[in-house]
Amino acid sequence: MGLVNFAHADVLMIGAYAASTFYMSTELPFAVAMVLAIAVTGLIGLIIERVLRPLENKDVTLMLIGTIGFGMVLQAVAILIWGATGRAVASPVKSAPLDFFGLRIRTYDLVVLAIAALAVVLLVWFLQRTKRGAAMQAVAMDHEAATAVGIHVGRSNAIAFAIGAGLAALAGGLVGPLLYVSPAMGGALGIKGFAAAMLGGCGNIPGAIVGGLAIGVLDSYAAGHFQGYSEVVVFLVFTVIIMIKPTGLFGEMTVSRA
């Protein structure tokens, strides 16, 4: 879409809270809770897009600031609804860790991997094989040309936002049992997410996957070797790489070059 949504991390947080609320308070099965959470956050994504629509394609800086504002609102709303202290979410998969060639892997981690892979496959299929997906890519490439061929840019962006928010909710809900769910959980996760996207190349789905894996591995490696300083290392490495190749490792579809 050509936009970085700084509220994305907080949308993820709302998704995590929603999923955990549906899962724990109302005793719904985890899958149903996730779907509900995705629906709710998708709605939030639509609202954000609709409010910021006058700014689309006009002033990117203003829109960026607008999303930051929305992020603040979402965080405040989360604190108002769920309180400032976080909550721990029980893992929905209650089985012993698997023993895999000497590595102990939690079953839940495999579930998360599987769902993430499935989501990526679905997204790629949507973008490459459906009309709406192609329309979205067209808008990202050149929104005026897209309008010229009859694509409703506002609606397309709205769907993009909704899908993005839904995926954020999926991520948040899945990561809930792994990490502590709290109003501030968006922060570092979000930045690393953006870093991963940029590293792989914005608008480039395989790049995003590789970027995500790269940041994840780098993060774990740094945590292992540098303990607390892991974030400094990750961001310094990221800065250096991105300066060498601003378009990301795989090249980008839309980037604001210097």
Partner 1 sequence: MALVAVAWILPYQLGGYAIHVVNIALVFALLAIGLGLAMGIAGQINLAQVAFFGVSAYATAILTTNNGLGFWPAAALAMLAAALIGLLVGVPALRMQSHYLGIVTLGLALGFINWTTNAEVAGGAEGISAIPVPPMFGIDLASEYLYYYLEVVVFAAALAFGLFVVRTSLGRRLQAMRDDPLAAGAVGAEIPLLRMTAFLLSSVYGGVAGVLYVRLIRYVAPDTFNIGNMFLLLAMVVIGGRQSLVGCVVGAIGLTLVREQLVDYPTYAQLGFGVVVVLMVVFAEFQVSVESHPRGQGADLPPLGVLAAAAQVAYEVAHQRPVAYVLGGDAIGGHERVHRFVLLAVHRHPGGPAPPVVRLAFT
Binding residues for partner 1, rule: CB under 8 A, are: 3-4, 6, 51-52, 54-55, 59-66, 68-77, 79-80, 84, 187-188, 191, 194-195, 198, 202, 227-232, 234-236, 238-239, 242-243, 246, 255-258
CA distance 40 to 18: 8
CB of 92 to partner 1, least distance (A): 30
| Distance between CA atoms of residues 85 and 83, nearest Å | 6
Which C-beta is closer to partner 1: that of 54 or that of 206? 54
Nearer to partner 1, 38 or 196 (CB): 196
Report the nearest approach of partner 1 to the CB of residue 185 (Å): 13
Buried b (16+ CB within 10 A) or exposed e, 203-222: bbbebbbbbbebbeebbeeb
- Encoded tokens for 37: 């959470």
Question: H-helix or E-strand containing 103?
Answer: strand 103-105
Tokens (6 digits) for 149: 């061929």
Q: Which is nearer to partner 1, 13 or 202 (CB)?
A: 202
Q: 48: which 2 tokens? A: 């954000």
Residue 130 or 256 having the CB closest to partner 1: 256
Spatial separation of the C-alpha atoms in residues 103 and 5, rounded to whole Å? 37
Q: Which residue number, 39 or 84, has a Cβ lying nearer to partner 1?
A: 84
Q: How far is the CB of 219 from partner 1 (least distance, A)?
A: 12
Tell me how far, at minimum, the Cβ of 252 lies from partner 1, in Å: 9
Residue 102's region, left for phi above 0, alpha for psi from -120 to 50, else beta, is left
Q: Least distance to partner 1 from the beta carbon of 238, Å?
A: 6
Q: What is the CA radius of gyration of the chain?
A: 19
Report in angstroms how near the CB of residue 118 gets to partner 1 at its nearest: 28
Q: How many CA atoms lie within 13 A of 211 on its CB side?
A: 27
Nearer to partner 1, 170 or 252 (CB): 252
55 DSSP 8-state letter: G
Q: How far apart are CA 66 and CA 49, in angstroms?
A: 10
**HSE-up of residue 60 (Cα within 13 Å, Cβ side):** 8
Q: How many residues does the chain have?
A: 258
Nearer Cβ to partner 1, position 46 or 255?
255
Q: How far is the CB of 202 from partner 1 (least distance, A)?
A: 8
